[in-house]
Every structure is written in C-alpha cells, then in structure tokens.
Structure 1
C-alpha cells in the first residue's frame, strides 16, 4: 500500500514536471510524428491495473481530445486531498535533506504548495490544452496547405514579384548585392553584371 502511494506521488510529480515544461515550450514546434504503442508497452506502463482495463482503452487520433482527457485526469488526481497530502509530505521530507535551509524550505512548501493546488483546481483542461497549442486549428491549416500546395506556391511567388516591382525593394537588393561584392574585392571584375550598376 505504501509503495502504491509513493508511486502515485511520483506520477503526480512527473505530471507537474511535464506541465511546467509544457508551459515553456510551444507544442506546435514538436514534430507531428505518429505515435505507435504496442500492447506490451501499454501493459508495462499499467502494471498495477487489470488486463481488462488495459484492453478497454480507446485510442483517439485527436491530439486535442487526448490532451483534454489527460489534463482532466491529472487535475482530478491532483485535486484529491490524499494526493495533496502525500505531495506535501514528500516535499517536507525533501526539505530535511538540506539541513541549512530546512526551515526556509518547509516555510516555502507550506506557503506555496496550497497556492499551487488552488491554481491547479482552477485550471480548465480546454484552456490548458489551448495554452500549450494542442487545440488550435493549425492541423487543419497544414492539411489545407498540403492539399493546395500549388496555390500556396503561386501566392508566394506573386507576393515576391509584387515586392520586386517596388523601386525601394529593388534598391535595397542591389545595395545588399554590392556590399557582398565589395567584401570580396578580388572578384568584382569577374562579376561584370554589378559593374554596370555602379
């Protein structure tokens, strides 16, 4: 029973770490590779559960839905008094490992951990998943781009051609090219096209 409680606390702390990391990173920057889970890995990660529970897992392709479901589970888990008590106990024990700052550490734990749990309980899973950019319409846009890549390419080329008609843009490009040629003085005569522009 004690080892299950410790495992629950470790899972909770792992979730807190992942949650904190997700606030820092933008989920859209992650590679959208398909996730393949074998039955063995599911059984291995769910060692304490019955085989029936593992078999009843319904896999969903929608990342947003998965995020919302996991966030709901994690928030429910962290909102339980038992979980909160175990986390506080683990943190207080951790404070005892730094004797010179033990009292300050305990004071910080006693002050900030309840605030953390209040904040966690106020989080809405939908909002959290939107904040980490897992529930936006970027997937739909990328699908449209893949389907209409010629249209996107034509649009980009027309925008560039429009910009190139602007005399200020032309002058800026010529100045950049001249700077490049000036940096390699020995080759200016070989690049005869730019001699005419001087």
Structure 2
C-alpha cells in the first residue's frame, strides 16, 4: 500500500512553466490538484484549503442542515440563516446527555475514537475528490458541498451524546424534536416561496 501511494504521488504534478499556462477556453487551467500535484505542491494546496474554509464553510454547514436548496454549483437558493441556527441548536440540544441520568455511555473510549476516525476519513476523502476537480489556478476549492458529509452527521451527534463533559439538567429531546420539525416545515415553506419567485440566469 505504501509503495502504491508513493508511486501514485510521483505521477503527474511536475509541470513545466509553459504547461502551467495551458488553459481551457473558459480560462480554467487544464490541470487539476491531482495526487501527484498535491504531493509536489503541499504549500499551494494548504493555502487553497485555508482560503476555502472561510469562503465556503458557512455554505457547507447550510448544505449539511438542508437550508441551501437546489444545486449550489448551478444555482443557489438559501433560506433564512435563523432556520439554520435553530436546527443546529435543536440538534445539539437533543444530543446533549442528561446530568443525573444513570445510563451507560453510548460509546466506549475505543469506539469513540473509531467513530471520530471514520468522520475524519470521510471528510479527508471528500476533500481529496474535490481537489481532483479543482483547476490549479483556482483560489478556492471547487465542487465541495456540505450535503456530501450528511451521512456522518449522526456519528458526530453520537460523539456529542457520549461526551459527558457538558450535560443538561433535564431531557430536552422532545422539545428538540418539536423544534426540528418546526424549523424543517418553515424551511420547506420558505423554499417553496423562493422557488416560485426564482428566475434562471440567462
């Protein structure tokens, strides 16, 4: 495995100055952040990711929560930020453990580290795939959407539930479920109204 990764990391990426200037008709470079280019240009890759987090981080969160409707790459329809904040708070409230509840922890120490590892692996794999779609002359990552991380959201909430460093005095799951339902219905209603008034870009 190590030899295969090393061989792949040396394939491509060593571009001559005249190759770096080669672009498509739309101005995008014909070269992307391949594995070889990433390994040979780690500082440039790190700068791209650091610029992407503040530029697209909020959009990723909206995508995970379902408050960005439509296809963000083609067109974006965003509902109110208040609904997104309400969903975040409701999900966290439902996941927080109760202070004096004698239940056993949901996750053991090793299982918790395993779940955290799964989350990090999914996030890293998504970033690598998005980098392979991103031309090297782009300033931020191209193609990454928050909904790609939706399958690991329950795992993240499970980690919160198993961590007893922050607890609540009484069970908030019923109120949280009601809040999630209300925010979801409001998101759908606002989404329908935005779709009705949306006009495609000509």
TM norm structure 1: 0.24
Bigger relative contact order, structure 1 or 2 (CA pairs below 8 A, ≥6 apart):
2
Rg comparison, structure with higher value: 1
TM norm structure 2: 0.23
